[in-house]
Amino acid sequence: MACSPMAFLTVFLAAAGSCLPAAAAGGPLPPAGTPLSFREGYTQLFGDSNLALHGDGKRVHISLDERTGAGFASQGAYLHGLFSARIKLPADHTAGVVVAFYMSNGDVYERTHDELDFEFLGNVRGREWRVQTNVYGNGSTAAGREERYGLWFDPTEDFHRYAILWSRDRIIFYVDETPIREVVRTESMGAQFPSKPMSLYATIWDGSSWATSGGRYKVDYKYAPYVAEFADLALRGCAVGRRACEEPGDAAAPPMSPARRSAMEAFRARYMTYGYCYDRLRYPAPLPECSVGPEAAAFLPSGDARAALRRHGRRHRTRGGADSAL
């Protein structure tokens, strides 16, 4: 399928990716920044031999087996930027397996940390992976701003780019060329909009207690090792400690183009399976940044999409409201 390119988002930030079926196009796709080798930009967190480098350190494999998972992080912290990687997820029976690609500063701010997540949730054989995005600011994990989606492709067959654009006034998550979520900073969010320097992380771990049908399906280690592959890891941001980070006016992103917004809305209408703004059980009054309109009729009081419920049957809710359906 031919993919339509995306317009330039800001002077120093760029979005990256592929395409949603029938998505509208913008201008030429800008680069996401020169990918760094592992030794140039990253450090291993845990997992000893479960992290392996390939292609002169330009590709990283992290795996989960009965001994341990694995993870790595950027060597530095960043205040705003575009952070992306091409990722290929493990195939076959992956229930309970969690692969995460995210920004965080939890190692510095234990109780008031910020976090921006892509969480990839495995499934039983024959069922698709699910993708969850989380936005936590100033330790607001109890409030929770989780969303969950299906995908229009099999993420185990090839690499796809996942990107987080983080500026002082908005956050946009991308899958290939398609923006799938935008969080615009509002006065009512206050410090709950992530605003402190964060590092980039990638991990694979055992989420058997919650990740698939509320913990009903566990990781089956007879299928191990589960290997997640990362390539083209790009850090295009404002590295803390550099003079550029201290200069004002370089961290604002312009509004999303009409073409990109149309593509995002099409994705969300078709593939969103849970939205915190529609979870009336958890939030009888939606959080202040939520703008809930007629589309709310497509969601149950639990925040689960009615269409997804029909496709996948009974759903189990966990982790403060986000579902864990098959």
Q: What is the pLDDT of residue 244?
A: 58
Domain count, the chain: 1
Residue 56 token pair: 């002169």
* Statement: residue 133 has pLDDT above 90: yes
The residue that leads in pLDDT, 316 or 120, is 120
Residue 154's CB is within 10 A of a number of other CB atoms, namely: 12
Averaged over 260-278, what is the pLDDT? 96
pLDDT in tens, 272-311: 999 999 999 999 999 989 989 999 999 999 999 998 766 6
How many CB atoms neighbour CB 101 within 10 A?
Answer: 23
CA distance 307 to 10: 36
**Annotated catalytic residue: which of 115, 146, 147, 177?**
115
Write the pLDDT tens digit of every residue in 150-184.
999 999 999 999 999 999 999 999 999 899 999 99
Question: Is the predicted pLDDT of residue 139 greater than 80, yes or no?
Answer: yes
Q: What's the chain's average pLDDT?
A: 84
Helix (H) or strand (E) holding 160: strand 160-166
Which residue from 157, 141, 150 is spatially nearest to 123, judged by alpha carbons?
150
Q: Indicate whether 30 belongs to any domain.
A: no
pLDDT one-digit tens code per residue, 199-219: 999 999 999 998 888 888 899
Q: Given its phi and psi angles, is residue 29 left (phi above 0), alpha (psi -120 to 50 degrees) or beta?
A: beta
Q: What is the CATH number of the domain that holds 56?
A: 2.60.120.200
Can you give the pLDDT at residue 310? Answer: 62
Alpha helices in 45-194 (DSSP H): none
| Other Cβ atoms closer than 10 A to 247 | 10
User: Residue 175 has which token pair?
Assistant: 């899958």
Instruction: Tell me, yes or no, whether 87 lies in a domain.
Output: yes
Flag whether 10 is in a domain: no
Annotation marks residue 146 as catalytic: no
177 tagged catalytic: no
Domain-embedded: residue 4: no
A 10 A CB-CB count for 290 gives 15
Asked if residue 45 belongs to a domain, the reply is yes
Instruction: Check if the beta carbon of residue 171 is closer than 8 Å to that of residue 15.
Output: no
Where is 41: in which H helix or E strand?
helix 38-41
Residues 6+ apart with CB under 8 A from 265: none
Give me the residue label for tokens 């109780």.
Answer: 111
Residue carrying structure tokens 């309109």: 293
Segment 118-140 mean pLDDT: 95
Q: Are 50 and 68 in contact (CB under 8 A)?
A: yes
Give the closest residue to 237 by CA, choosing from 16, 84, 13, 36.
13
Distance CA 59, CA 159 (A): 11
Active-site choice (119, 146, 147, 177): 119
Q: Which of 73, 88, 79 is nearest to 236 (CA)?
A: 79
Domain of residue 61 covers: 38-242+250-313
96 found inside a domain: yes
Does residue 101 surpass a pLDDT of 70?
Answer: yes
**Is 11 inside a domain boundary?**
no
**Among 318, 168, 148, residue whose Cα is nearest residue 250:** 168
In a domain, 13, yes or no: no
